[in-house]
Amino acid sequence: MDRRSLIKGCAEYLMTTGLGSDYFLNEDDSRETIVVVFLRGGMDGLNFLAPIDDSNYRAARGGKMALQEDALKINQNLVQADFRLNPEAYALKELYENKSLALIHAAGLTNGTRSHFEAQDLMELGSNSDKNLSQGWLTRYLQSFHTGNIVPAYAIGSIPLASLLGSMEQMNITEMKNLSLDLGPDLINMLSEMYGGGNSLVHRSGKGALQNIAHIAKSSKGLSFDSYTPDKSADYYSSWPGEELANSFKTVAQLIKMDAGLKIATIDYDGWDMHDNQEWKFPKWIQALSWNLNAFYNDIHAYHKKVTIVLMTEFGRRLKANKSGGTDHGHGSVMMVLGGNVNGGNMYGAWPGLANEQLDNGVDLAVTTDYRTVLGEIMVKRNLVKDLQMIFPKFNDYKGGLGIIQ
């Protein structure tokens, strides 16, 4: 018996025993899928998108670290300045020009920490200063609507994320074949009886895992667990340093196309902590990100109105380059939002400027848009959240959003 037949048999068994009978009863399919891409390490927003005609920018970055005339000019009506994208972000410019991608500069955590771990934890908890929250912001979002048995959230990778802290409704996987049960029918029967006979945490976890695998197999539309063929329009960048990122996006695309109840997917892309040799490193990371995000969006073209993608990083880098050809931990950076319900093709927020008196503590791009304002607008306008305080405790500054989301 091949794996496909085995999983299908497992699904049929669970359905006939009643373990899967309530799969389609308590799910709210009106909510979109949100894909959260975290650029870990502190992405230099001023090496990604910057006003090349700003004398303060040119003076601080020098010839090597500043974007030049060959950077990609974008149209925007936020501020009178010649903002341009890194030359390797041409695939992102394509999404921007077709009105699918919105850019939010000078965004981030407002408390000014320069600790990777503290900043990442706070943003994933949905907080500005409270590190003692027992749940992540995505966990609280799940609790606002999810009452069924289908696992609606997948963290792509092997490390549990703080954004899903406290959730029993998410799974960590590195690729779809992790969900293949290479087991014989007798063992599947035994596992089903074992987990179906009690109500402890272990019983519920085991039962839920078996149910979810069965549900995905049943609704997989013939897509294989062990291999995936992207849409012909999707040209993923599978060379270093983009191979892992490409595989993560493919896994999410596969889950979306299976129509198996996916509501949240998280992807990490590490390596942005570039204290040295940034002139060589940064273009390679941007090329891999740009190309793979474009490929993913093309891959799920039939789902553009059902998916919103948001990209965030824990902080930006200092305006002035360091002596090692890199940049040190800063403050404001760039967030991105992509989707069929996004008012793309423009920059949002408020540009603070790069003169000394405009910088945070005289050294960093100031944060003018709290990251929760961007996430909150997605939650309210697309994902049907009525009480934003439930998702982001003590966040009182949401005033209806920036106009990013339709």
CA dist 139 and 296 (Å) reads 25
Q: What pLDDT, on a 0 to 100 scale, did the predictor assign at position 4?
A: 39
Classify residue 100 by its DSSP letter.
Answer: -
Q: What is the pLDDT of residues 289-327, one digit of tens each?
A: 999 999 999 999 999 999 999 999 999 999 999 999 999
Tell me what the pLDDT averaged over the chain comes to: 85
- Amino acid letter, 146: H
- Pick from 130, 155, 102: which is nearest to 382 by CA? 102
Classify residue 178 by its DSSP letter.
Answer: G
Token pair for residue 15?
């359905």
pLDDT class of 12 with cuts at 50, 70, 90: very low
Q: What pLDDT, on a 0 to 100 scale, did the predictor assign at position 112?
A: 86
Q: State whether residue 336 is helix, strand or coil.
A: strand
CA contacts within 13 A on the Cβ side of 20: 22
For residue 18, pLDDT over 50 is answered with: no
CA 65, 121, 40, 384 torsion: positive or negative? Answer: negative
Do residues 376 and 341 lie in contact, with contact meaning Cβ atoms separated by under 8 Å?
A: no
* Higher pLDDT among residues 262 and 372, named by residue: 372
Do residues 344 and 71 lie in contact, with contact meaning Cβ atoms separated by under 8 Å?
A: no
State the CB neighbour count (10 A cutoff) for residue 136: 25
For residue 328, pLDDT over 70 is answered with: yes
pLDDT class of 11 with cuts at 50, 70, 90: very low
CA dist 82 and 168 (Å) reads 47
Q: What is the pLDDT of residues 112-159, one digit of tens each?
A: 899 999 999 999 999 999 999 999 999 999 888 876 656 678 888 867
The CA angle 166-173-262, to the nearest 5 degrees, is: 70
In degrees and rounded to multiples of 5, residue 33 shows phi and psi of -85, 130
Token pair for residue 339?
């989707």
For residue 162, pLDDT over 50 is answered with: yes
Residues 6+ positions from 244 with CB-CB distance below 8 Å: none
Q: What pLDDT, on a 0 to 100 scale, did the predictor assign at position 187?
A: 62
Q: What pLDDT, on a 0 to 100 scale, did the predictor assign at position 14?
A: 38
Do residues 374 and 126 lie in contact, with contact meaning Cβ atoms separated by under 8 Å?
A: no
CA dist 30 and 321 (Å) reads 47
Q: What pLDDT, on a 0 to 100 scale, did the predictor assign at position 31?
A: 79
DSSP percent split of the chain into helix, strand, coil, nearest 5: 40, 15, 45
The CA angle 14-19-20, to the nearest 5 degrees, is: 75
* Whole-structure pTM value: 0.86
Helix (H) or strand (E) segment spanning residue 83:
strand 83-85
CA dist 256 and 235 (Å) reads 18
